[in-house]
A and B are shown apart, each in its own frame.
Chain A
Amino acid sequence: MTVQKKGFLQGIYQKLASPKLTVVIFLVLAAASVVGTLMPQGLSEAEIQRHYGQRAIWFITTFGLNDLYHTGWFRFLLLILSANLVVCTIERLPKTLKLYRRREEQVDPEKLAKCSLNCQFTSNLPQDETEARLIRIISEEFGTLQRLDGDGHLAGIAEKGRWSPLMVYVVHLSVLLVLCGALVSSIFGFKGFMNILEGEAASEVMLEGSDRGLNLPFQVRCDKFDVSYYDNGMPREFRSDLTLIRDGKEVLKQELRVNDPLTYDGITFYQSSYGAILKDAEVELTDRKSGAVRRLIVLFREWVDIPGTRDRAQILRFDEDFRQLGPAMVLLISRDGKEPAGSWILIDRDFHGNKVGNYHVRVLQATRTPYTGLQVKQDPGVWLVWLGFAAMLVGIGLTYYVSHRKLWVWAEADTPGKGGTKIIIAGRTNRNELSFEQEFNRLCDRLQAELGQEGGGSKP
């Protein structure tokens, strides 16, 4: 049993270590995301039924296609991606580090001659002079030549960007950081919005994606709200003057603009929208039976008695442009304390349909109060996300710009006594072979020009 279990776990580990899985997950995530953009997100079951029919409901809700990015299976894909990243790092990083630390002790001239990028030639200068020039030119063109113990020969290695193969791990770490940050935020943070009437204070935030509210440990008061417009009617800017009140004391006064959030006590406020409610309206009610006309002021969501009757009225809703007919409100009237009846009443025109129950309604004057719409969030994981982003850019940038380039040099007396020096140079890079090839050829050309004549070898 244990053996089998171990085999099973090992099997999973092997699967997770496979680079094939990485590519497959990328493609599966991409495909799932495509589905999520083609299918509108956040639809209710009723809307799904209307758009896609009865049969599709089961399918869509079972797989959560209407809220795809928050479903268990999508998160499971992200989890597998993270596991794949971690396991691949565990598997590969030690090898890369070993290569990174390893220093070659010797240079084998036979191996150099087999390198795909190599050049060989003979110099007729005295050996001291040859070696001195070789070292100088290589350090000028490429980088410092580390001399190795050559037992009477010149042997050396020069390299650049030794650490560049490690950058891939920085990118992998950065993806994990971003995912961790998102996880921390979703567990310990919240996101929501609040609408505050001008002149009023509030502390309750309506949480996103739920009908729950959350009480902030302080109050937010909107002292003033302002919108300015371009001459074509588009909003140019909107802003709120906010005061934060804690334990009855004003702790912060600041104006809030779009693109310029305000943070207090770990909670950030964003200017996100605006609107207006109808604070009160002066109406003329005509009783269609008796013809009696009564004037009164009705309030927003507060019952007012209609004088001379036992009826009561209130404004339930307000729309600045109801079905393109201009501003309108829902007026509720309750007769004799019975179940109230309501209807949309156009505010700017005396419309024959302006009636509730047996009253015809005419609006004489309406007083609006603007409100400011604030996005509110607490996001303790966001710095992990920023850190991840920074690491990702550094990692990808250095992967692009730096490759590990290595040069081996070998020089020995050609035939003892004759004075010629045989030189072999070989090079290798882990990336960007073409530009290294050019660099290598340029170096070899200069060496041959300054050291002596060509003597075979393969120059691609």
Chain B
Amino acid sequence: MITSSILLAITTFAYLLCALLYLSGVIFRRRTIMLWGSVTGAATLAIQMAGIILRWWESYQIGYGHAPLSNLYESLVFAAWAIMLIYLIMEYRTKQRALGVFPSLFAFLAMAYASFSTGVNSKIQPLLPALKSNWLIAHVVTCFLGYAAFAVSFGISIFYIARQSRQEPSGGTHSLLPDLRQLDELNYQMVLFGFLWLSLGIITGSVWADLAWGTYWSWDPKETWSLITWLIYAALLHARAVKGWRGNRVAWLSIIGFCCVLFTYFGVNFLLGGLHSYATTK
């Protein structure tokens, strides 16, 4: 009998394979290997999606009945899925496969952390009354699409900085990568896309908090850190649009922004607590 845990276990190893394929493609400069990376990535995405849907169905069988987006384990699984989804759409549109190294690595790390860490409980748990709302789906999906876009942008930024710092003759690893201008443009598109979803995520969270607790903003650490992230990316967009920042500085700001994303996601859960503390597992 196929269960969601089997599918998600397959997913974990398949993302590892996918990351290794992309990485070897870049190291050995073989486009065919990278193509296999894309194929593995797309297939894994489908398996993972089936796993998520199955877990949803299983939660109804147990009698809890909720979307699989309610605790750290489920959010990590969804984060991995969202990163690969956004990356593969970008890859399809730009035909730039070398950029897949970081997204597939992130997807693998998220799945591995979810599956192997003793601190992450993978059991389907019932929902607290405050979380029983359709806003849960809207809020988590929008936030994580934003986070995923920022993760992809982080990968692009690393490539940008790496590519800029080493002026290799043409024909090197870099010929697999888009040129600097394209990387910068892609990075900007990805940040703007993430910014849109992060805004949506903060807004849906805010509307939901108003319904559940009677306050749309309570300076809870998670809320505040999402605002900090939003401010960093807003600063990036303004610096680019009004002050004409390009390239390196934008890449660095994007890296700082992604560190904020990571802190909003993990740091707040483990170090600060607050209203979102159910996102840690007990």
Residues of A within 8 A of B (CB): 19-20, 22-23, 26-27, 29-30, 33-34, 36-38, 41, 69, 168, 182, 191, 230, 232, 234-238, 257-261, 268, 270, 272, 375-377, 382, 385-386, 389, 392-393, 396-397, 399-400, 432-434
Across the A-B interface, how many residue pairs have beta carbons closer than 8 Å? 113
Residues of B within 8 A of A (CB): 64, 126, 128-130, 132-133, 135, 182, 185-186, 189, 192-193, 195-196, 199-200, 203, 206-207, 210-217, 219, 221, 224-225, 227-228, 231-232, 234-235, 238-239, 241-243, 268, 272
Contact assessment for A396 and B227 in the assembled complex, using a CB-CB cutoff below 8 Å: no
Given the complex, which residues of B lie within 8 Å of A400, measured CB to CB? Answer: 192-193, 196
Contact assessment for A258 and B242 in the assembled complex, using a CB-CB cutoff below 8 Å: no
Contact assessment for A191 and B200 in the assembled complex, using a CB-CB cutoff below 8 Å: no
Contact assessment for A26 and B234 in the assembled complex, using a CB-CB cutoff below 8 Å: yes
Q: A400-B192, A400-B193 are in contact. Are A26 and B238 (CB under 8 A)?
A: yes
Contact assessment for B224 and A33 in the assembled complex, using a CB-CB cutoff below 8 Å: yes
Contact assessment for B192 and A399 in the assembled complex, using a CB-CB cutoff below 8 Å: yes
The CA of A433 and the CA of B129, in the complex, are separated in Å by 48
Q: A27-B231, A30-B231, A396-B195 are in contact. Are A37 and B185 (CB under 8 A)?
A: no
Q: Which of A23, A377, A386, A396 contacts B196 (CB 8 A)?
A: A396
Given the complex, which residues of A lie within 8 Å of B189, measured CB to CB? Answer: 432
Given the complex, which residues of B lie within 8 Å of A182, measured CB to CB? Answer: 217
Contact assessment for A69 and B214 in the assembled complex, using a CB-CB cutoff below 8 Å: no
Contact assessment for B238 and A22 in the assembled complex, using a CB-CB cutoff below 8 Å: yes
Contact assessment for B238 and A392 in the assembled complex, using a CB-CB cutoff below 8 Å: no
The CA of A272 and the CA of B214, in the complex, are separated in Å by 9
Q: Which of A168, A259, A392 contacts B132 (CB 8 A)?
A: A259
Task: Report which residue of A37, A191, A236, A386 has the largest number of chain B beta carbons within 10 angstroms of its beta carbon.
Answer: A37
The CA of A377 and the CA of B192, in the complex, are separated in Å by 36
Contact assessment for A41 and B206 in the assembled complex, using a CB-CB cutoff below 8 Å: no
Given the complex, which residues of B lie within 8 Å of A20, measured CB to CB? Answer: 243
Main secondary structure of the interface of A (DSSP, over half): helix
Beta-carbon nearest neighbor of B268 in chain A: A37
Given the complex, which residues of B lie within 8 Å of A433, measured CB to CB? Answer: 185
Contact assessment for B214 and A268 in the assembled complex, using a CB-CB cutoff below 8 Å: yes
Q: Which of B232, B234, B238, B272 contacts A37 (CB 8 A)?
A: B272
Contact assessment for A377 and B214 in the assembled complex, using a CB-CB cutoff below 8 Å: yes
Q: Which of B186, B214, B215, B242 contacts A19 (CB 8 A)?
A: B242
The CA of A392 and the CA of B200, in the complex, are separated in Å by 9
Beyond the given A230-B126, A235-B128, could you list 9 further A-B residue pairs with CB under 8 A, ordered by the A residue number? A19-B242, A27-B231, A33-B231, A37-B272, A41-B219, A168-B241, A259-B211, A260-B211, A389-B207
Given the complex, which residues of A lie within 8 Å of B192, measured CB to CB? Answer: 396, 399-400
